[in-house]
Structure 1
Amino acid sequence: MHKIPANAWVVVADGSHARLFQNMGKHDALQLKQVELVEPDTADPEGQGPSGQRPPEATPEQTDEATFAKQLVRRLNAAALKQQFEHLFLIADPKTLGEMRPQLHMETSKRLCGELAKTLTNSPLEEIEKLLEGLD
């Protein structure tokens, strides 16, 4: 079962933004509280796309999504290395999740307690909690 531990970070992302939640529930209870909305950093000095430059075959939208996934992973990796969270659960559309996985630092990966390939960024908090409670 994918129990979300107390104080775990739950990241709900797509290619354009992410919602960062923390599980405020005690023991096995799930009570998510949104703590941040993460938007793309348009002033990113490392360029665009996952490798730092736009692949010639990529559309601008694909490049923007890959760039945001890279920025989000960079933020999660930095937080893991600073011991800001002990557990992480990722929810993202399949494409974004696929962009994120290979970029996760070993420390971030060790803290990963689960993931779900689903687009939920615009879903109400209650729907996200209900879905997570139903996972097994």
Structure 2
Amino acid sequence: MLLPHGTVFAIVDGEKFELYRNTGIEAEPRLEAVPIPELEATNFSAGVYDHDRVSRFTPPAPKNRVARLDEAAHVAAVADWLNSQILAHRIDKLVIVADPRSLGEMRRHFHKEVERVLVAEVPKNLTGRPTAEIVRVLHG
């Protein structure tokens, strides 16, 4: 896959968010880290556990369900931030690399303009990996 100069790479999972920009050429990308914005995970609408509706007879949500709600809220915050950057024309080429669950949740929150700038979606978890490995996976 050719990765145009200036392409922004969002590497996401349920807890982490990394940003890179291709400062190299299409055939030989060089990813440079971009500062990560402060995100506030406030969108918990992806889940079904509503704290306001829980009666005293309802057992508490299992820890894994609460963790999934936290992850979904984080991913929704990333999607909302990407939407804002795309709508403000600060991102004009985007590659999203995320584990399948996070990628699916992000798609639920994307503005229709994301399709216009999306170069590729890669359903893999590559957070915390070296940029050389990310490039190798994208070229593979």
Q: How does the TM-score come out when normalised to structure 1?
A: 0.84
The residue that corresponds to 2:83 in the other structure is: 77
1:124 aligns with 2:130: yes
Contact 2:43–2:77 (8 Å) recurs in 1: no
Letter in 1 for 2:110: L
The residue that corresponds to 2:16 in the other structure is: 17
**Which deviations, in whole Å up to 9, do the C-alpha atoms of 1:99-130 show, x marking residues without a partner?**
00121111112100101100110211221122
Secondary structure at 1:19's aligned position in 2?
strand
- 1:100-111 equivalent positions in 2, closer than 5 A: 100-111=106-117
Secondary structure at 2:34's aligned position in 1?
strand
Q: What CA distance in whole angstroms lies between the structure 1 residues aligned with 2:26 and 2:43? A: 41
Among all aligned residue pairs of Structure 1 and Structure 2, give the percentage whose two residues are the same amino acid: 29
1:90 aligns with 2:96: yes
Structure 2 unaligned residues grouped into runs of 5+: 50-60
Larger relative strand fraction: 1
Contact 1:48–1:64 (8 Å) recurs in 2: no
- Where in structure 1 do 4 or more consecutive aligned residues deviate above 6 Å? none
- 1:21-60 equivalent positions in 2, closer than 5 A: 21-37=20-36, 40-41=39-40, 44=41, 47-49=42-44, 51=45, 54-56=47-49, 59-60=65-66
Letter in 2 for 1:13: V
Q: What CA distance in whole angstroms lies between the structure 2 residues aligned with 1:94 and 1:39? A: 24
Q: What CA distance in whole angstroms lies between the structure 2 residues aligned with 1:20 and 1:111? A: 16
Computed over aligned residues only, the root mean square deviation of the Cα atoms, in angstroms, reads: 1.9
Q: What CA distance in whole angstroms lies between the structure 2 residues aligned with 1:12 and 1:59? A: 23
Q: Which moved more, 1:69-78 or 1:54-63?
A: 54-63
Q: What CA distance in whole angstroms lies between the structure 2 residues aligned with 1:89 and 1:17? A: 16
